[in-house]
Amino acid sequence: MGTDLRQRSAQARRLFELADQITALPITQLCADGPLERLTDTDVAQPAVVTTSLAALAVLREECGVVDIAAVAGHSVGEFAAYVAAGVLDAEAALRLVQVRAQAMAAACASVDGSMAAVLGLDEPALREACMLASQNGSSVEVANLNAPGQLVVSGARDALERVAESARASGARRVLPLKVGGPFHSVYMRPAADAVRQALIETPLRRAEVPVVVNASAEATCEPDELRHELAVQVYSAVRWTATLERLAALGCDRFLEVGPGTVLAGLVRRTLPDARVASFGAISDLRGACALL
C-alpha cells in the first residue's frame, strides 16, 4: 500500500517517514510488506490509511498541477485527510490527531466484545427498529454507516449484533455480512475515545477551510474551525452519513468525484448513490492518468 507513491515522490516518502516517527510504529514497512493481520489492527490501520491518502494527495498535486477542488469529504478516519486537502490542518497535525484517535479507539475496543456488520437490502427505518429491539440487557447495537442506498452498517456488542442480524433477515435484508474490524466503531462504545480526541483538538489549531468540508455526523457543509473541531470528536461515536454527504456535495454543484487514497470503495459508493457523476480513484501510480483526466 503506497509503495509506488513513495518510489515516485520524495514528498510521499517524507509523509511515511513522518508517520513512522509520530506513531513509533513501522507504518512504512507494514504498508509495504504486512502482515495483513497487523496492518488491519486499529492502531496501525488508521494512520496507515491517512498516510497513504496524504501521500496520494501529494503525488496528485505534483503530477497534475493545480488541483481545483470545489469541496471535500472523508469517510470516518478519512476525514482527517480531507481536512488537509481543505487546508484546515497540515499533515503533521493530522497524523498526530489520528495517532490519538487510533490509540484511544483501540483502548475502547479492548473494553467490549464488539464488532460491525454490513446489512444489504434493508432501509434505514427498518434497520433502526431492528437495532432498538436487539439492544437488550446492557448490550447495544446501532446504525454506524449509511454508505449507499441499500448498503448500511451496524455496530455494537457481539450478542446484540447476532440479534440484529436475525431481526434484519426477518425484516427482508438480503444479506448480513460480519466485517473484519477491530471493534464497534461509530457506536456508543467509542465515547471514551471521543473524549481523548476532543482533548487533543483543544491543543491543535485549525484553520478556516479553503473549500467547504461536508462532515460525517451531520452531512452539512462548513468552513468554520469551531464546527470542524466539534466534528472530529463527535464523529468517533456517530454514524457516518455517507449517502447524505454525497447528496450534499451534489447539491453544492459537484459532478466529478475523485477518491484519493487506498482502494476504490468510496468510488463505488458514489456510483451507487449518484449514477450520473463522473468518478475516479487515485491510490496508485497506475491510476494517475484517469485521475488527471477527471480533474
Domain boundaries, the chain: 3-109+189-235+243-294, 113-183
Instruction: Count other Cβ atoms within 10 Å, centred on residue 137.
Output: 8
Each of the 295 residues of the chain gets a pLDDT tens digit; together they read 999 999 999 999 999 999 999 999 999 999 999 999 999 999 999 999 999 999 999 999 999 987 789 999 999 999 999 999 999 999 999 999 999 999 999 999 999 999 999 999 999 999 999 999 999 999 999 999 999 999 999 999 999 999 999 999 999 999 999 998 999 999 999 999 999 999 999 999 999 999 999 999 999 999 999 999 999 999 999 999 999 999 999 999 999 999 999 999 999 999 999 999 999 999 999 999 999 999 8
- How far the first Cα of the chain sits from its last, in Å, is 23
β-sheet bridge partners, residue 152: 119, 146
pTM: 0.95
User: Catalytic residue at 76?
Assistant: yes
DSSP string over the chain: --HHHHHH-HHHHHHHHHHHHHHTS-HHHHHHH--HHHHTSHHHHHHHHHHHHHHHHHHHHHHH-S---S-B--STTHHHHHHHHTTSS-HHHHHHHHHHHHHHHHHHHHTS-EEEEEEES--HHHHHHHHHHH-BTTB-EEEEEEEETTEEEEEEEHHHHHHHHHHHHHTT-SEEEEE--SS--SSGGGHHHHHHHHHHHHTS--PPPSS-EE-TTT--EE--HHHHHHHHHHTTTS-B-HHHHHHHHHHTT--EEEEESSSSHHHHHHHHH-TTSEEEEESSGGGHHHHHHH-
Give the homologous superfamily in CATH for domain 3-109+189-235+243-294.
Malonyl-Coenzyme A Acyl Carrier Protein, domain 2 (3.40.366.10)
- Amino acid 240: pLDDT: 98
β-sheet bridge partners, residue 179: 116
- The single residue of 9, 115, 186, 218 carrying the catalytic annotation is 186
Cell numbers standing for residue 185 = 466503531
pLDDT tens digits, residue range 75-129?
999 999 999 999 999 999 999 999 999 999 999 999 999 999 999 999 999 999 9
Q: What architecture does CATH give domain 113-183?
A: 2-Layer Sandwich (3.30)
- The single residue of 9, 53, 75, 76 carrying the catalytic annotation is 76
User: Catalytic residue at 186?
Assistant: yes
